[in-house]
Amino acid sequence: MTLASLGTTLDADALLPGAHYVPSPNCDQRPPDAVVSLIVIHAISLPPGEFGGDAIERLFTNRLDPTEHPYYQDIQAQALRVSAHFLIRRDGAVTQFVPCNRRAWHAGQSNWRGRECCNDFSIGVELEGC
């Protein structure tokens, strides 16, 4: 599915109809009073500067093999457990990793307009790029 062909509303499970869904374990419940009011857009490529393949999906599902590339060894050494709600590929294909009603782990230590912990109140979108 491409971004242009997706629906504009979420289904009952807080998933975007038509998006490829690959559940990530790197998420948890939002705080009870959290209201989504921010979209955080990131750029990602794995390995850096390379596009395509399934490395991003494997990163977000804790299946990235550190022996495949020296950069992946750094990721393993940091014990990264990260995710995003969505990944938009260079060809427009969309993958969802975390339901929108859950907190994805994408913004780390963060603040926006004086509010700490942006993961609590944001949707994380990864664009395949650098």
Catalytic residue among 50, 116, 126, 128: 126
Q: Which amino acid is at 70?
A: P
Alpha carbon distances (Å) from 6 to 34, 65, 68, 101, 129: 26, 32, 33, 18, 21
Provide the 10 A C-beta neighbour count for residue 86: 23
Does the annotation mark 126 as catalytic?
yes
| Coil/strand/helix, residue 28 | strand
Torsion sign over Cα 84, 21, 18, 16: negative
Would you please indicate which residues are annotated as catalytic (active-site) residues? Answer: 126
